[in-house]
Structure 1
Amino acid sequence: MAARKDIDGSESVAAFYGKELRWKREEARLTLQQVVEGSYYGVSYLSEIERGRRRMPSDLACHVDHVLRTDGFFARRCEDVRRARKSVHAPYFADVVEMETHARDIEEWSPMLIPGPLQLEPYIRAVVLAANPLDGEEAVGQKVAARRERAWVFEDVEGPVSSVVLDESILRRPLVADEVMAEQLAHVAAVARRRRFIPQILPWNAGAHPFMMGTTWLMDFGDAPPVMYTEGMYSGQIIDDPGIVMRYQKAYSSLRAAALPPKVSLEMIEAAAEDYGNGNHARRLERSRMA
């Protein structure tokens, strides 16, 4: 039998926390399966927490404290682990970045912007500076790099199965110069054509629909309950209440039903990219102003 690799608790707060969790579990002579029994989480989830690779949700921490009889130790310390994690991402989004690395399926509604992992550098810069006009070049560069690092979500063949509904206005309202917008939309279409990313466009005249609100993500996992994430300009919220998440899942199904089919949507994205590239978009705008 191969020797078990020890955990170096000095690497990070999360590693220290995970090492303590393993020590307490083994002291109680319990297996990973025995500890997670009665919770919503799987063995692999707890194993990654022990190795410092995943955060401990508060409900699981309370469950572990109960099973291991640790008098609330893990529930008290899980927030310390969360605060210790350093990230260029906004604090409310850091947990989402971690969750997406473990997600099996991601469903997203994007009413205003191309989803972050699909954005190219010029588009990212425009979005970052619009929200944070006083950011210096170093801060902007860090945010651009961090967002591009997430490109794997849609581009990696081993990534989650992704479904994204985009509002048609995203195609019609350029945030960057037309030739750059053409490149950005062509990139979205190219990614969609070569892997499991499924785009749908909600047409401008679709009428009332369930998601007349900000960006929304639904993430499903093989070893943990599904979660929903919604985001505004300077804030975000993770919702893990099963009843509420189920309502959002049903609403997303209704949204997809109102959107155009994937094949038609992809052709619309490609046509918009071509329009920006050959100047037709600008000419249409000029005609509409003169009308």
Structure 2
Amino acid sequence: MAKGKQDEAWEFFGELLKERREAAGLSQSELGRRVFVSGGYIGLFEQGIRKPQLDVAERLDEVLQTGGIFERTWRKLIDKSPYASYFQATADLEDIATKICEFESTAIPGLLQTPAYAEAVIHASNPLATDEYVADTVKGRIRRSAILKDATRPMYWVILHETALRIPVGGPAVMAEQLDHLVAQARARVVLIQVLPYAAGAYPQMGKPLKLMEFADAPPTAYTEAVYSGNLLDDPAVVKRAQGTYDLLRAAALSPEASLALVESAAEDYRRCARTT
């Protein structure tokens, strides 16, 4: 994947971190211990592979006595990002993940959204937003899905609660197109889709999204989201528990074949509705 200005800027962040760390006479492990991350993460920050969260940038400033340079640089880079600040690090990690497992209870995941569906979701959250803002946000969201077209695309596994198929986001025509897109991506073996049906009853992680990511040379992570906030988790015990939750969701979901049949049926229902309205 081609390197953009944003990637180069984070590489500069990493080079600056390495320079200040070495000037302070600290190893990666020693610095990591003082800012409460592993030495391996410091190495990934310095290479520009991973981006620290704001609290880590602030602790780097404190430990290395930089006068706030890492916090200011972090905020400047995040302000230029098309993503919400709490999601930026997760979006960056999607680019290097070898495997992504995702659960959504009420919406189609961003990586699989069509432009019309994404626009309807953004309008619902920002009813007074300008056309320019909506267009830029949609563009950023669709750009993320480029990782699924890459030759080194991750293994992608999605579990959707049936609710996500039944909420008519954008109206029947938009939903028919969106569900057709899901089926096409699954048929092309870009994504493995399972649906957790209403009949499954209570389920783990009720009402909350969950994203698990694995990497070639770094520990796995888990990401969960709440209202205008997100948690990117890398504590091994927490990630292991999140993986167990995903296993329970997968066990309760329909098979991939039955899931696609349900998605196709829902798409046809929306098509019929669109023709009569």
- Give the alignment's TM-score, normalised by structure 2: 0.80
> Is it true that 1:72 corresponds to 2:68 in the alignment?
no
The CA deviation string for residues 245-274 of structure 1, in whole angstroms up to 9 with x for no partner, is 211110110110000011111222122222
Q: Which moved more, 1:148-157 or 1:194-203?
A: 148-157
> Is it true that 1:87 corresponds to 2:81 in the alignment?
yes
Does the 8 A contact of 2:172 with 2:273 survive in 1? Answer: no
The CA deviation string for residues 70-126 of structure 1, in whole angstroms up to 9 with x for no partner, is 95358x755444322121211111111111111121111100101112111111111
Structure 1 unaligned regions, length at least 5: 1-7, 287-291
Q: 1:206 to 1:30 in 2, by over 3 A?
A: same
> Is it true that 1:213 corresponds to 2:207 in the alignment?
yes
The offset of 1:40, in angstroms, is: 6.6
Rounded Cα–Cα distance in structure 1 between residues aligned with 2:216 and 2:260 = 29
Mapping for residues 127-166 of structure 1, pairs under 5 Å: 127-166=121-160
The offset of 1:208, in angstroms, is: 1.5
Does the 8 A contact of 1:108 with 1:165 survive in 2? Answer: yes
Local SS of the residue matching 1:217: strand
Local SS of the residue matching 2:219: coil
> Is it true that 1:268 corresponds to 2:277 in the alignment?
no
Rounded Cα–Cα distance in structure 2 between residues aligned with 1:27 and 1:234 = 38
The CA deviation string for residues 28-60 of structure 1, in whole angstroms up to 9 with x for no partner, is 999999x99x94738xx83x6445454246899
Mapping for residues 240-259 of structure 1, pairs under 5 Å: 240-259=234-253
The aligned amino acid for 1:261 is S
Does the 8 A contact of 1:165 with 1:259 survive in 2? Answer: yes
Does the 8 A contact of 2:173 with 2:274 survive in 1? Answer: no
Q: Which moved more, 1:15-24 or 1:82-91?
A: 15-24
Does the 8 A contact of 1:154 with 1:191 survive in 2? Answer: no
Local SS of the residue matching 1:41: helix
The offset of 1:22, in angstroms, is: 4.8
Q: 1:167 to 1:157 in 2, by over 3 A?
A: farther
Indicate the residue corresponding to 2:230 in structure 1. Answer: 236
The offset of 1:61, in angstroms, is: 8.3
Q: 1:194 aligns with which of 185, 188, 213?
A: 188
Structure 2 unaligned regions, length at least 5: none
In the alignment of these two chains, the number of paired residues is 266
Indicate the residue corresponding to 2:12 in structure 1. Answer: 16
Rounded Cα–Cα distance in structure 2 between residues aligned with 1:222 and 1:121 = 31
Rounded Cα–Cα distance in structure 2 between residues aligned with 1:59 and 1:40 = 17
Rounded Cα–Cα distance in structure 2 between residues aligned with 1:172 and 1:282 = 18
Alignment root-mean-square deviation, CA: 3.7
Rounded Cα–Cα distance in structure 1 between residues aligned with 2:56 and 2:231 = 19
The offset of 1:241, in angstroms, is: 2.1
The offset of 1:282, in angstroms, is: 8.7
> Rg larger in 1 or in 2?
1
The offset of 1:239, in angstroms, is: 2.0
The offset of 1:161, in angstroms, is: 0.9
Local SS of the residue matching 2:159: strand
Q: 1:280 to 1:271 in 2, by over 3 A?
A: same
Does the 8 A contact of 1:40 with 1:224 survive in 2? Answer: no
Does the 8 A contact of 2:102 with 2:211 survive in 1? Answer: yes
Q: Which moved more, 1:210-219 or 1:78-87?
A: 78-87
Rounded Cα–Cα distance in structure 2 between residues aligned with 1:78 and 1:223 = 25
